[in-house]
């Protein structure tokens, strides 16, 4: 199942806040998306149905911000078996290890529930350059 692509503002929808407000994870993820928009980048919002493969070892480098839903990280094992490495939830960020010089991208990301996420391709983050590193995320 392929992703549905749009550039809509769904990443900014109402958060599931704690009684004290949004979590640090959510604040930082929203801050990153806000900064990219302020720099003039159009962020791709993608939707996936439960069971859809979001990224595999063959995909190009991108940073993903999970704005709703749950995804699983898994790695292929021998005899066609798969080992689940963990679950990510709303406002988790993944894909950062793919930016290493010689990345080990043997992890598959699959939607456990219907989910939405913002995808920031490597070229977009590189184009934003030092501005992202110098700016506070919250």
Q: Tell me the mean pLDDT in the region 100-119.
A: 80
pTM (two decimals): 0.71
What does the domain layout of the chain look like in residue ranges? 4-8+15-128
pLDDT, tens digit, 9 for 90 and up, residues 10-64: 333 444 545 566 788 899 999 889 988 888 888 989 999 999 998 765 566 788 8
Per-residue model confidence (pLDDT) at position 103? 53
Residue 69, phi-psi category: left (phi > 0), alpha (psi -120 to 50), beta (remainder): left
- Kindly report the CATH class assigned to 4-8+15-128: mainly beta
DSSP three-state, residue 80:
helix
> Which pLDDT score, from 0 to 100, does residue 125 have?
78
Order of strands across the sheet that contains 53-55: 53-55, 107-111, 71-76, 82-88
Q: At residue 1, does pLDDT exceed 50?
A: no
């Amino acid at each position: 199942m392929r992703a549905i692509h749009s550039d809509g503002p769904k990443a900014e929808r109402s958060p599931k806040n704690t009684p004290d407000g949004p979590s640090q994870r959510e604040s930082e993820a929203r801050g990153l998306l806000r900064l990219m928009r302020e720099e003039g980048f159009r962020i791709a919002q993608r939707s996936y149905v439960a069971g859809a493969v979001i990224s595999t070892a063959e995909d190009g480098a991108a940073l993903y911000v999970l704005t709703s839903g749950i995804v699983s990280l898994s790695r292929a094992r021998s005899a066609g078996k798969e080992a689940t490495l963990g679950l990510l939830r709303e406002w988790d960020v993944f894909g950062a290890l793919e930016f290493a010089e010689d990345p080990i991208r043997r992890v598959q990301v699959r939607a456990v529930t219907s989910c939405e996420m913002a995808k920031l391709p490597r070229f977009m983050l590189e184009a934003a350059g030092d501005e992202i590193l110098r700016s506070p995320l919250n």
